[in-house]
Chains A and B, each alone.
Chain A
């Protein structure tokens, strides 16, 4: 969680300093969902993510040096600088990509699960998506499909309270995401998405069912986006009082107070923060030194047959 937080803090520094050219969506405040779910995953399991996917990538084991280089648009990036923040993928750890389209990852996760079954593999799929995705067709289609074919998929709705600049509650009818999943007959749990232990336990229970071949499951994890929709959104649609109130439930602060209560020394906690910070400083330095793509790189990796000239 601290690595995710520090990665994104440094991504913002890179953007504000003009070193990161493109759009970055930060998940600051939402780290417990990524960490709590992915702590239950194996390397060969698949994850499909969202436009706000740094946390899911890091929690699944993607290399932060390559991720940071990708944000810088460098050839040493996870995607050789061709994707940027919204498309970070690391296939070597089963991370099938962030996605620039809301709900875009749902079918990908379901398809990877169907492939695993066909190939006789034990890999399962986890699909992260936000509150906005539950109002798109792929949410219905994907849950229905996974249920019809009893596929090993854990759907995780990370409700950060905002669909871009708009409160999710104002655009979602009925009883919400969990009720919709239940209506499709998918096993559902709801937990506090800022409580990493609760997320971990619920995901563990649901993944046990998923791995046992009992079909898909759905985890609803309400959390709160402490930053804007993008790095250039100052979020004028909420009050500073609301933000301050939510900061008191920052998942990392909550975890720290748990550790204090459990007798962990303050200096040990600070050591964790320091290590994460130093790791990201090194990642930024490496990204600065890395080479930029050339014009020729714009023409590669498009297609083999009928490749661009």
Chain B
């Protein structure tokens, strides 16, 4: 949704926006509850701060470190009449619960012939985060999730979208995977006052431009905007699309923009090879014939030492170079 300047707003961090979204939905619907490690302590990113006091231990459930059970208990509770929010702490730990997510949750509605819906949200903070956490705490694996039929996949990058998409996710009858932008939890942004949801499947034009369509999502948005500013100074006008929803993704928005600017670039923090950018690039090529470039991480694990991590990182400077190359301005 576009936030009109006339709408009253407040400024909050993404972590606070996430907490407020959950609190509002829990007040609205008594079947909404959350489970995961350390939730009584507010969660490791503060996204559950204060919720135990308001909602009690039956609805803010601090669990054992049992990822596969957290996931499957959430699934069982979803098909037995509640709307669980399943907190995985970080995406990397959810790999211990991949069977439950991919084999059970994603397939249940189809496999059971539509007898049940699976109204749950799986929260997977992903990406490098605050840095120097090495290979098992830094991954971006959205491509695996978008590849899995049955799942809705969201990747917000702003406080307003974190709140609006999380609320939409909780109200959805489909299982929704929410890829919280780990590195941006402390970033502040304007959030509309009052109750609202962000429509799933609608992208947001984060910056208007004419020379290149640059599609991105989640943690990489600030670097993309930074690079686009550098490009503007170099005389290149970049249109930045913050995709927000990865499945479904806003084909109309992307294709319309690409057809107009005649060039497209996709930037994501995840490994380039087999990344979701490839799907978007192929679609743009098939539908518009516009030349497309991609930038993502090399196919290497995230290393610990700063130079190793930076080698993996898609930085503003690297994106700027990709913009120059894609627009023939090198």
Give A contacts to B, CB under 8 Å: 46, 48, 77-83, 87, 89-91, 96-97, 99-101, 104, 106-119, 123, 125, 137-138, 141-142, 144-145, 148-149, 300-306, 308
Contacts and interface: CB of A to CB of B under 8 A. Distances in A.
A306 B248 contact: yes
B111 A87 contact: yes
B261 interface: no
A215 B63 CA distance: 16
A81 B104 contact: no
A305 B152 contact: yes
B5 to A, nearest CB: 29
Nearest to B248: A306
B114 interface: yes
A182 to B, nearest CB: 19
Contacts of B109: 301-303
Contacts of B100: 104, 107
Interface of B: 31, 33, 58-59, 61, 63-64, 66, 68-69, 71-82, 84, 99-100, 103-104, 108-117, 149-152, 172-175, 200-201, 247-248
B240 to A, nearest CB: 23
Contact of A302 (B71, B75, B104, B110): B110
Given A107-B73, A110-B76, A116-B80, A306 B113 contact: no
A68 B260 CA distance: 56
Contacts of A111: 72-80, 84
A79 B113 contact: yes
A124 B115 CA distance: 20
A76 to B, nearest CB: 10
A112 B80 contact: yes
A91 B112 contact: yes
B66 A145 contact: yes
Nearest to B74: A111
B71 to A, nearest CB: 7
Looking at B174, B175, B201, the one whose CB has the most chain A CB atoms below 10 A away is B174
Contacts of B33: 118
B72 A112 contact: no
A104 B104 contact: yes
Given A100-B103, A118-B31, A118-B82, A302 B149 contact: yes
Given A107-B73, A303-B149, A46 B80 contact: yes
A20 B201 CA distance: 40
B227 to A, nearest CB: 29
A100 B103 CA distance: 9
Contacts of A141: 64, 66, 68-69
A83 B112 contact: yes
B76 A48 contact: yes
A212 B136 CA distance: 43
Given A111-B76, A112-B80, A138-B72, A303 B64 contact: no
Contacts of B115: 78-79, 89-91
A79 B112 contact: yes
B155 to A, nearest CB: 14
Contacts of B172: 304-305
A79 B108 CA distance: 10
Looking at B99, B113, B151, the one whose CB has the most chain A CB atoms below 10 A away is B113
Contacts of A304: 117, 172-174
B65 to A, nearest CB: 9
Contacts of A302: 109-110, 149-150
Nearest to A75: B113
Contact of B58 (A107, A117, A125, A300): A117
Given A77-B113, A145-B73, A300-B114, 12 more contacts: A90-B115, A91-B112, A107-B100, A108-B75, A113-B76, A115-B76, A119-B82, A123-B80, A145-B64, A304-B172, A305-B201, A306-B247
A178 B322 CA distance: 61
Contacts of A118: 31, 33, 58-59, 77, 82
Nearest to A86: B111
A3 B222 CA distance: 64
A138 B69 contact: yes
A145 B149 contact: no
B200 A305 contact: yes
A306 B76 contact: no
B80 A142 contact: no
15 contacts: A48-B76, A91-B79, A96-B80, A107-B100, A108-B76, A113-B76, A118-B33, A118-B82, A142-B69, A145-B64, A302-B149, A303-B150, A304-B172, A305-B200, A305-B248
A108 B114 contact: no
A83 B82 contact: no
Contacts of A145: 63-64, 66, 69, 73
B113 A83 contact: yes
A159 B129 CA distance: 46
B256 to A, nearest CB: 19
Contacts of A101: 99, 103-104
Nearest to B115: A91
Ranked nearest first, the 4 interchain pairs of A and B with the lowest CB-CB distance are: A111-B76, A107-B72, A306-B248, A79-B113
A300 B152 CA distance: 15
A114 B76 contact: yes
Contacts of B99: 101, 104
Given A96-B76, A115-B77, A119-B81, A137 B68 contact: yes
A82 B74 CA distance: 23
A97 to B, nearest CB: 6
Contacts of B108: 97
A74 B247 CA distance: 31
B80 A115 contact: yes
A300 B111 CA distance: 11
